A and B are shown apart, each in its own frame.
Chain A
Amino acid sequence: MTAGRSSEANGSSSANGFDFGAVAKGPVSSSSASRTPSESASGVPRNPSVSALRGQFGDAVLRSQVNAGDQDVVYVEPERILDVLRWLRETPEEHYDHLADVTAVDYGGGHPLEVVYQLWSIPHRRALRLKCELPLPSLEIDSATAIWTGADWLEREVYDMFGVRFRGHPNLRRILMPDNYAEGHPLRKDFPLRGRFSRAEQTRRALSQEPEDYYAPGELANRTPQTADDTEGGAA
């Protein structure tokens, strides 16, 4: 999309010396640091934890890159994510004790969905971003709730919005959407902006909700973990 626009605008240099093609190209970095995401160009990672992770986990660390100038990103094998997180949390030299965020990115077009962990070490003042690429048919990854209690709601939100199932999560239910929401996972790229159902169907479903679903003690009594399949909607 961008490339097409820049080619047609390339020649138009205006009278006051302003190159309109530059608008399509977008802003360039005003710092000297290279902004290309490829590993070769961005050079050495700034965060010593990246090389430590490579030394400790070897093949489980798929690749690393430096984004946005100075932010270290490490791609990790999804199967090993729990070991990596636990090691980062418990090794004294790393000590990433603050799990700032767990989220996911869907790039659409059949690309794998990324689960993103933002870590911060309060004593060492270092930030690290971990990513796991999950192929679309099998969106499953281990839950980090055993390491950080705060991961509970963040992972529930990722499940709610993207449909990623967190193995071992104590209470993997929808958090923002209603429990009986049947239209799928809203932040996926294949989810239309206005929802899957027609407005009439959405209204009908909203009006036909049983009050007992919302004001029932069952929620409190049900202390066994509800499996993700129970709340999975009809949408693919």
Chain B
Amino acid sequence: MAVRTVEFDAARNPEMGPGGTLVASPGAPFDAPEPRWDSETMLVNVGPQHPATHGVLRLIVELDGETVVKVVPRLGYLHSSFEKLGEYRSWNQIVPLTDRMDYLAPLIYNCAYVMAVEKLMGIEVTDRCRVARVICMEMDRIFSHLLWLGTWSIDVGAFTPFLYAFQQREKVYKLHEALTGARITTSATRIGGMMADLPEGWTRGVREFADNLPATLDEIDGLLTCNAIHVGRTQGIGAISADDAVAHGLTGANLRASGVPYDVRKDRPYYDYENYDFEVPIGCHGDCYDRYLVRMEEMRQSLRILHQALDGLPAGPMDVDDPRVSLPSKTDCMSDMESMIHHFKLVTDGIPAPAEDCWFSVEGSKGELGMYVVGDGGPKPVRWRIRPPSLVNLSAIPALAEGHLMADLIVINASLDIVLGEIDR
């Protein structure tokens, strides 16, 4: 799993110098020590409007020459106070807020939120719903990783993988649209089930996507994994030890690249993940290259889960058979007085939750995505808290980037795979 097959060796990768002579590449160690200019440091604002910051992130960087002395991230440019807005909405009305936080993997957020509320209310969803949500979450994990792969390759200077990755992402957009009617803001889940059953032929589309993706992954693999420029720019850059990664609260691929095999799907299984046959790739160096390897392998493992889930998708109802949670069918509402009242009461009153709290975390595409919901017996939350994996992952960037070059800061930022929607919320 995520074992590197190539090692960067600057002496082995010479470059063409003036007059056609081969010279050592810029990464090669020089004999003479670098001259030390004790001049003032320079201050550079990266962002908030900069494509390499992957959103409206602003990094205030103190530079000594090209070396990063200090990084101070400034957040809040996308702050919408979703958690406050949630306190004014009933449980089901919050679902549309969730997919706006991680617009790169909206279905994971949809599912994680309702799973937390269902756990609080003690609702067991149907078997079909469990498997359908696994399909949604794994599909969006790949969806998010593909965007990461594309932007990451742009940040290290390769353009082609970006196009290849976005070709595949477009297929997931179409699947989102077929499932929910929206390409990004899916809002696909409801308490106790899904917005609707899977449309006709949808699973066939997912399977087609899953069948075709490995060829693209192999192509990108061939372009990047052993590419001397890519390897030289990422190996040994932004390395963090396992202990430091845990202390910083890193999760997801960023933590696993440091060799800590913590994956919520394995360690605290939900939705029968223990019954799916998949492996958790881990790295051992904790640098940008290992994070790349881990994510590449994670996509292949997600494909394995996707195939197993598609094979095992049971027939049957999608929503729980509980009139206190599920809406009656539209046909019943139009023809049956009791169903109409039932629909009216559920929509206007909402679903009361017990006066308790509940923490539920899933393995999101960026890391451990935690949802903390507190009820007070009424139909609205007292508190709805998201533990955004990107926020905690990004907080490690000063430790990762200080001492590296300015160009490496961009690569390190890309390797963390952040999304500002969930950082600022």
Nearest-CB residue, chain A, relative to B399: A149
Evaluate contact between A16 and B338: CB separation under 8 angstroms: yes
Give complex CA distance A2, B349 in Å. 9
B352 neighbours in A (Cβ, 8 Å): 2, 24-26
Evaluate contact between B383 and A150: CB separation under 8 angstroms: no
B213 neighbours in A (Cβ, 8 Å): none
Evaluate contact between A27 and B395: CB separation under 8 angstroms: no
B51 to chain A, nearest CB (A): 20
A235 neighbours in B (Cβ, 8 Å): none
B76, B122, B345, B358: the one within 8 Å of A30 (CB): B122
Evaluate contact between A153 and B370: CB separation under 8 angstroms: no
Q: Which of A66-74, A78-86, A132-140, A201-209 contacts B (4 or more CB under 8 A)?
A: A66-74
B372 neighbours in A (Cβ, 8 Å): 101, 103, 116, 118
Give complex CA distance A160, B336 in Å. 51
Give complex CA distance A178, B249 in Å. 25
Contact with A along B320-346 (1 / 0, CB 8 A): 001111000000000010100110011
* A42-73 at interface with B (beta carbon < 8 Å): 67-69, 71, 73
A211 to chain B, nearest CB (A): 11
Evaluate contact between A23 and B345: CB separation under 8 angstroms: yes
Give complex CA distance A23, B325 in Å. 8
Evaluate contact between B370 and A150: CB separation under 8 angstroms: no
**From DSSP, what is the main secondary structure of chain A's interface residues?**
loop
B308 to chain A, nearest CB (A): 23
The answer to the question of A91 belonging to the interface, with a C-beta cut-off of 8 Å to chain B, is no
* B65-93 at interface with A (beta carbon < 8 Å): 70, 72, 75-76, 79, 81, 83-85, 88
The answer to the question of B404 belonging to the interface, with a C-beta cut-off of 8 Å to chain A, is no
Evaluate contact between A37 and B260: CB separation under 8 angstroms: no
B43, B60, B121, B424: the one within 8 Å of A176 (CB): B424
B76, B323, B376, B424: the one within 8 Å of A23 (CB): B323
The answer to the question of A142 belonging to the interface, with a C-beta cut-off of 8 Å to chain B, is no
Please count how many residues in chain B sit with their CB below 8 Å of the partner chain's CB atoms.
Answer: 71
Identify the interface centre among A23, A37, A174, A193: most chain B CB within 10 Å of its CB. Answer: A23
Evaluate contact between B267 and A122: CB separation under 8 angstroms: yes
* B362-417 at interface with A (beta carbon < 8 Å): 368, 370, 372, 374, 376-378, 382-383, 385, 387, 391-392, 395-396, 399
Evaluate contact between A73 and B382: CB separation under 8 angstroms: no
Nearest-CB residue, chain B, relative to A19: B323
A122 neighbours in B (Cβ, 8 Å): 246, 260, 262, 267
Evaluate contact between A23 and B346: CB separation under 8 angstroms: yes
Evaluate contact between A105 and B374: CB separation under 8 angstroms: yes
A24, A174, A177, A215: the one within 8 Å of B349 (CB): A24
The answer to the question of A219 belonging to the interface, with a C-beta cut-off of 8 Å to chain B, is yes
A177 neighbours in B (Cβ, 8 Å): 76, 79
Identify the interface centre among A9, A16, A98, A116: most chain B CB within 10 Å of its CB. Answer: A98
Give complex CA distance A127, B247 in Å. 16
Evaluate contact between A150 and B323: CB separation under 8 angstroms: no
Contact with B along A71-111 (1 / 0, CB 8 A): 10100000000000000000000000111110101111000
Please count how many residues in chain A sit with their CB below 8 Å of the partner chain's CB atoms.
Answer: 64
Evaluate contact between B383 and A105: CB separation under 8 angstroms: yes
Give complex CA distance A105, B358 in Å. 12
B322 neighbours in A (Cβ, 8 Å): 27
Nearest-CB residue, chain A, relative to B368: A100
Give complex CA distance A27, B192 in Å. 10
A16 neighbours in B (Cβ, 8 Å): 336, 338
B321 to chain A, nearest CB (A): 11
Evaluate contact between A2 and B260: CB separation under 8 angstroms: no
The answer to the question of B361 belonging to the interface, with a C-beta cut-off of 8 Å to chain A, is yes
B359 neighbours in A (Cβ, 8 Å): 68, 71, 100-101, 118, 127, 129
B248, B356, B395: the one within 8 Å of A37 (CB): B356
The answer to the question of B124 belonging to the interface, with a C-beta cut-off of 8 Å to chain A, is yes
Give complex CA distance A151, B248 in Å. 8
A56 to chain B, nearest CB (A): 23
B396 neighbours in A (Cβ, 8 Å): 149-150
B122, B349, B392, B425: the one within 8 Å of A35 (CB): B122
Given contacts A14-B341, A28-B122, contact A37 B355 (CB under 8 A): yes
Evaluate contact between B75 and A98: CB separation under 8 angstroms: no
A225 to chain B, nearest CB (A): 14
Q: Contact residues of B with A, CB < 8 Å?
A: 43, 45, 60, 62, 70, 72, 75-76, 79, 81, 83-85, 88, 119-124, 192, 244, 246-251, 260, 262, 267-268, 322-325, 336, 338, 341-342, 345-346, 349, 351-359, 361, 368, 370, 372, 374, 376-378, 382-383, 385, 387, 391-392, 395-396, 399, 424-425
Q: A27-B121, A98-B249, A118-B387 are in contact. List 12 more A-B contacts (CB 8 A).
A: A1-B378, A2-B378, A25-B352, A26-B351, A30-B124, A31-B124, A35-B122, A68-B119, A100-B249, A150-B249, A177-B76, A220-B72
Can you name 28 A-B residue pairings with CB atoms under 8 Å?
Answer: A14-B342, A22-B323, A23-B323, A23-B324, A23-B342, A23-B349, A26-B354, A27-B192, A27-B351, A31-B122, A31-B124, A37-B355, A68-B358, A71-B359, A98-B262, A101-B387, A118-B359, A148-B249, A149-B249, A150-B248, A150-B249, A154-B392, A176-B76, A176-B424, A187-B81, A187-B83, A215-B45, A220-B62
Q: Which 3 A-B pairs have the closest CB atoms?
A: A150-B249, A29-B122, A26-B352
Q: Contact residues of A with B, CB < 8 Å?
A: 1-2, 5, 9, 14-16, 18, 20, 22-31, 35, 37, 67-69, 71, 73, 97-101, 103, 105-108, 116, 118, 122, 125, 127, 129, 148-154, 157, 161, 174-178, 186-187, 191, 193, 215, 217, 219-220
